Amino acid sequence: MSELVSPALIQTLTERLGAHRVLTAPEDIVPYGFDGTATLKQRPLAVVFARSADEVSFVLKLAREHRVPVVTRGSGTGLSGGSVPLAGAIVLCLAKMDRILEVDAANLTLLAEAGAITQKVFDAADSAGLFYPPDPGSMKISTIGGNVAENSGGLRGLKYGVTRDYVMGMEVVLADGSICWLGSKCVKDVAGYNLRDLFIGSEGTLGVVTRVLLKLLPKPAARQTLLATFSAMDAAAGTVSAIIAAKIIPCTLEFLDKKTIQCVEDFAKVGLPRDAEAILLIETDGHAAAVADEAAKIAELCRAHGATNVKLAADAAESTKLATARRSAFSALARLRPTTILEDVTVPRSELAGMIRAVEAIAQKHNLNIATFGHFGDGNLHPTILTDERDTEEMHRVELAFADIVEETLKRNGTITGEHGVGLAKKPFLKRQLGDNSFELLRLVKRALDPDALLNPGKIFD
Amino acid sequence: MSELVSPALIQTLTERLGAHRVLTAPEDIVPYGFDGTATLKQRPLAVVFARSADEVSFVLKLAREHRVPVVTRGSGTGLSGGSVPLAGAIVLCLAKMDRILEVDAANLTLLAEAGAITQKVFDAADSAGLFYPPDPGSMKISTIGGNVAENSGGLRGLKYGVTRDYVMGMEVVLADGSICWLGSKCVKDVAGYNLRDLFIGSEGTLGVVTRVLLKLLPKPAARQTLLATFSAMDAAAGTVSAIIAAKIIPCTLEFLDKKTIQCVEDFAKVGLPRDAEAILLIETDGHAAAVADEAAKIAELCRAHGATNVKLAADAAESTKLATARRSAFSALARLRPTTILEDVTVPRSELAGMIRAVEAIAQKHNLNIATFGHFGDGNLHPTILTDERDTEEMHRVELAFADIVEETLKRNGTITGEHGVGLAKKPFLKRQLGDNSFELLRLVKRALDPDALLNPGKIFD
């Protein structure tokens, strides 16, 4: 259908946006056919770049007229295939809408266009003595609009929450091209349904977010990073429970298993203990005295629960070096084999130790190379399967392992995705997690907001 | 319509629920015809008490069959008329579903039935050494389901947020009687649209929330309360801005004007300065050293911005006494005149001083008795009109003043309701605040979830 109408459509798009903002040549559009998810790709019909909500509205209206699907995209760092287009779809790229429009220190807010890079949002807040906490692994290149679309997490989730917790308002363009503003600078606002939260995490399937009003916090006065080494995985998991039981909520509580430690150390050379079975990277922040107290208590708990070594970062530079090393885990692991498949399961914290043992057993059962790291404090694990997509037999085992991991997660009342989204990768498992009634409710909302099914179709559910 | 079908409907309800859980006698149902909002009342057709989600489902299915509207209700402490029934409606009361089902210390969660009293939720968390922060003024009698339906705020909103920020999951019964579970114990969960947040604050118009899974926090180790006295309202407002500008986020930052101070002192006799123009009641909590530091800085800022006196509470008992006095503001004011109309406007914090001056000018213009108190740190004001609903001429001036206050609020990019909801009271103003497109989007969602318009119809919008 869409292949037929494309010449007229492309011409109208080019007239409005200019030829340089409408790409159709195969060599130009190939990079827009995949995101950060392994094994998924599909060439779109065209790629268009919008610079304003009005232009987004124009594109959506035109797409509706021609009944062509639209897949919105930022930097394409997603890890569930959420921005991988369908055949015959237009990719609507917002990367050129990248301005930070306002930092309002009196109201502790920041207004940005959807294409603004997350790191720039953080830096703009930081320059005003303020703090934007969400820090997804890809924050140096991801866009804030992409973070909102996927409700991205990050390393500070335990204490500070995720992207959702910092979105106060947004400009969103609906399927029919109408432009809405949702939310306000008021820290409390109960005027009408909360639709802002419906769009957060909706992966571009309900509308196109074009501006985001973010909440900022005062910058914490002090921070301290600890590195605890364990000779047994269970001891590390037990330590996490003990920290929470002691009523301590560190801002970061990250975990790396032996394979990940060795890869990261090869890659970043920061002095991680290569022979450890597991490490915890823990950060506490806030008032200097509170940080000192908490760090001391955490160190004590680590030792009491079997840490063979607990090291406190000597200064901010060392803290940053350790955090950067952790942040490089995915890239470091990706160097080992041609294909890196990152899982994103999350379980209630109390199920953590059992879940990790289950992942190890699944790796053995299917004879696969699985390295695990993740946000232990959030119960969010990233078992990472190191494989080769050209090896059909191994890929079959990968699929079986993937299904087993999901099975274990659901058995433990966990979720199939903690922070990466459903996209294409987790679509087959969503209904089982949600149950029939909740799943049907999702579809009902989708039909109401996108009756022609043109906004990122085929994602989350069919 | 519904008056005709009622005998068969009542009979079926009685057969399932028992006669003691189906009230129809006028003297029994009168108390279910109003909530905490002045001047609004309407007798329902019947009042039914459910004890489980299955019973709620039964009631909704039956109501649908008979095309009778259903108005869900907890303790009826709402302040926007959200639970005032339409004529011919069934009131579905959840007050008997009041159990705390689980406190899970390992995962920091609490599961309660919708009718559980907010104070009991707080106490259950407290007994486990944990903390449920949202504390609406009515928490001693309000239900957690009502708090969720209205997304209630409270005195700790500045640092800890509102009810929404603590809802991790819920059981909800839809208009067709299907029972859904939304959310999980996972602190990160992006599996599908966030519909949980759509139901929070939807005032019973999209479904009936029957169970709530709440997030708890560790209990703060220390707290300190300050009482700052001002001889000018502007100085108090300026102090609030200065505290935020100093990157301090107290947990409570409450304001009382002269009229409110005098009423509260008459009522509670806690030693408030009767001659002050304004007082700020400020509380900081957390690590003991952080609290001491913050309290000292706050006291210094108060003095630098014109406080004539700053008093630190000597101990926890005095802190509690001051907080209780503030909590009594509404009741204290309600003793002065027969009718008390509580406003709930919220502005961005930077607009606070201007908004307070505007409210004073409006009181003078319409020759009305308006006392103002509220959550200054949130920009959330409760200008309280002390009047008499039997005086038609004065009530006309009240209406004009009400409209003027809304006008001023919207001019300052504020919201017509910070924490009380739209209900009936704010319905006439919602479209102006949201704009046509966002307003239509609300209606579209309502039509999708409640196609027969039987769930609390006539609330939020027509």
Per-residue model confidence as pLDDT tens digits over A75-123: 999 999 999 998 899 999 999 999 999 999 999 999 999 999 999 999 9
The set of residues, in sequence order, having a beta carbon less than 8 Å from that of B379 and lying 6+ positions away, is A186, A187, A188, B346, B347, B348, B349, B351, B352, B355, B414, B418
Does one domain contain both A298 and A352?
A: no
pLDDT of residue A270: 87
Q: What are phi and psi of A236, to 5 degrees?
A: -65, -45
- The ipTM (two decimal places) reads 0.95
Residue B268: which pLDDT band, with cuts at 50, 70 and 90?
Answer: confident
The CATH number that applies at residue A418 is 3.30.70.2740
Looking at the domain assignment, is residue B439 inside a domain? no
Does one domain contain both A78 and A104?
A: no
pLDDT at B169 over 60: yes
Q: Name the residue with tokens 């680590």.
A: A302
Does one domain contain both A105 and A214?
A: yes
Does one domain contain both A235 and A316?
A: yes
With CB atoms and an 8 Å threshold, state whether A190 touches B417.
yes
Residue B5: which pLDDT band, with cuts at 50, 70 and 90?
Answer: low
* Domain ranges, residue A66: 5-93
Does one domain contain both A326 and A360?
A: no
User: Which is nearest to A404 in space by CA: A365, A346, A351, A350?
Assistant: A365
Q: Which helix (H) or strand (E) holds B387?
A: strand B380-387
Task: For B415, name the nearest residue in chain A, comparing CA atoms only.
Answer: A189
Average pLDDT, chain B: 94
pLDDT of residue B116: 98
Min Cα distance B109 → chain A (Å) is: 10
Domain boundary among B312, B330, B348: B330
Looking at the domain assignment, is residue B454 inside a domain? no
Min Cα distance B153 → chain A (Å) is: 8
Does one domain contain both A172 and A230?
A: no
Does one domain contain both B324 and B307?
A: yes
pLDDT at B1 over 60: no
User: Which is nearest to A99 in space by CA: A113, A85, A109?
Assistant: A113
Looking at the domain assignment, is residue B432 inside a domain? no
* Total number of domains in chain A: 4
Domain boundary among A186, A218, A250: A218
Q: How far apart are CA B252 and CA B285, in angstroms?
A: 9
Looking at the domain assignment, is residue B35 inside a domain? yes
Does one domain contain both A105 and A207?
A: yes
Whether B2 contacts B69, CB under 8 Å: yes
Looking at the partner chain, which of A241, A380, A438 has a beta carbon nearest the beta carbon of B188? A380
Whether B348 contacts B310, CB under 8 Å: no
Q: How far apart are CA A48 and CA A71, in angstroms?
A: 10
In the 8-state DSSP scheme, what is residue A351? G
Does one domain contain both A201 and A139?
A: yes
Judged on CB neighbours under 10 Å (0-12, 13-18, 19+), A99 is middle
Give the type of residue at A203: E
Instruction: Spell out which residues of chain A touch residue B293, defining contact as CB-CB under 8 Å.
Output: 287, 289
pLDDT average, residue stretch B12-27: 95
Q: How far apart are CA A209 and CA A57, in angstroms?
A: 11
Q: Which helix (H) or strand (E) holds A265?
A: helix A258-268
- Which of A131, A162, A187 best probes binding to B when mutated, by most B CB atoms within 10 angstroms? A187
Q: How far apart are CA A27 and CA B416, in angstroms?
A: 52
Does one domain contain both B414 and B373?
A: yes
What is the count of residue pairs from A and B with beta carbons less than 8 Å apart? 274
pLDDT at B35 over 80: yes
User: Which is nearest to B168 in space by CA: A162, A205, A80?
Assistant: A162
Instruction: Spell out which residues of chain A touch residue B197, defining contact as CB-CB under 8 Å.
Output: 194, 197-198
Looking at the domain assignment, is residue A450 inside a domain? no
Give the type of residue at A137: G
Instruction: Spell out which residues of chain A touch residue B153, defining contact as CB-CB under 8 Å.
Output: 188
Looking at the partner chain, which of A193, A414, A434 has a beta carbon nearest the beta carbon of B202? A193
Task: For B108, name the nearest residue in chain A, comparing CA atoms only.
Answer: A244
Q: DSSP characters for B112-161?
A: EETTSBHHHHHHHHHHTTEE-----TTTTT-BHHHHHHHT---TTHHHH-
Instruction: Spell out which residues of chain A touch residue B289, defining contact as CB-CB under 8 Å.
Output: 287, 289-290, 293
Instruction: Spell out which residues of chain A touch residue B193, defining contact as CB-CB under 8 Å.
Output: 198, 201-202, 206, 442, 445-446, 460
The CATH number that applies at residue A226 is 3.30.70.2190
Instruction: Spell out which residues of chain B touch residue A104, defining contact as CB-CB under 8 Å.
Output: 348, 350
Domain boundary among B306, B330, B354: B330
pLDDT average, residue stretch B325-342: 90
The CATH number that applies at residue B49 is 3.30.43.10
Q: How far apart are CA B304 and CA B243, in angstroms?
A: 11
Whether B241 contacts B334, CB under 8 Å: no
Does one domain contain both B26 and B76?
A: yes
With CB atoms and an 8 Å threshold, state whether A192 touches B105.
no
- Positions of chain A with pLDDT lower than 50, given as ranges: 1-2
The CATH number that applies at residue A203 is 3.30.465.10
Looking at the domain assignment, is residue B438 inside a domain? no
Give the type of residue at B331: S
Task: For B291, name the nearest residue in chain A, comparing CA atoms only.
Answer: A287
Looking at the domain assignment, is residue A233 inside a domain? yes
What letters, b where the CB count within 10 A reaches 16 and e where it falls short, cover B223-237? bbbbbbbbeebbbbb
pLDDT at B2 over 70: no
**A177: how many CB neighbours lie within 10 A of its CB?**
19
**pLDDT tens digits for B124-135?**
999 999 999 999
Looking at the partner chain, which of A186, A197, A414 has a beta carbon nearest the beta carbon of B348? A186
Looking at the domain assignment, is residue A118 inside a domain? yes
SS3 B90: strand
pLDDT of residue A5: 55
Does one domain contain both A171 and A226?
A: no
